[in-house]
């Protein structure tokens, strides 16, 4: 379950802006990573791709909309990213692994 949340988080962060921008998506395995090193690598490559998107266009309610990549990430992608990250954190806690807020926040 945890590995699946990591895969969903990185796939969402990478694929959503790529699809909306109409660019070719990078190929990633559709399987869950089996090591933390592989999961970190997947996350770093996904975010590098997502931050390379500069403008996104889509139709909503019959209206063509365009949003800069940064705004799309902040107001759409990141809320979904944090939902799945929080869910992964909750799964780990539920399984009895003692982690806290500092583990969730990282080194910032």
Query: What digits encode the pLDDT tens for the residues 90-104?
Result: 888 899 988 877 776
**Domain ranges within the chain, ordered by starting residue:** 2-105
Which pLDDT does position 67 carry in this prediction?
A: 75
Query: What digits encode the pLDDT tens for the residues 19-66?
Result: 878 889 998 988 888 888 998 999 999 989 988 887 777 776 788 877
Half-sphere exposure of residue 102: CA atoms within 13 angstroms, side-chain side? 2
Answering whether pTM is above 0.85, one says no
Phi-psi region of 62 (alpha: psi -120 to 50; beta: other; left: phi over 0): left
CA distance 5 to 10: 9
Which pLDDT does position 60 carry in this prediction?
A: 67
Query: What digits encode the pLDDT tens for the residues 4-16?
Result: 888 888 998 888 8
Q: Which runs of E-coded beta strand occur in 36-91?
A: 55-60, 63-68
Phi-psi region of 68 (alpha: psi -120 to 50; beta: other; left: phi over 0): beta
CATH of 2-105, one of 3.60.110.10, 1.10.10.10, 1.20.120.450, 3.40.50.2300: 1.20.120.450
Instruction: Provide the CA 62 distance to its chain's centre, in angstroms.
Output: 27
């Amino acid at each position: 379950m945890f590995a699946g949340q990591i895969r969903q988080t990185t796939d969402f962060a990478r694929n959503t802006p790529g699809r909306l921008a109409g660019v070719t998506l990078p190929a990633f395995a559709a399987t869950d990573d089996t090591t933390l090193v592989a999961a970190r690598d997947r996350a770093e490559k996904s975010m590098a791709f997502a931050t390379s998107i500069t403008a996104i266009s889509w139709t909503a309610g019959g209206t063509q909309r365009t949003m800069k990549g940064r705004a799309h990430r902040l107001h759409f992608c990141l809320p979904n990213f944090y939902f799945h990250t929080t869910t992964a954190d909750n799964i780990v806690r539920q399984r009895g692994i003692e982690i806290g807020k500092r583990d969730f926040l990282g080194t910032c």
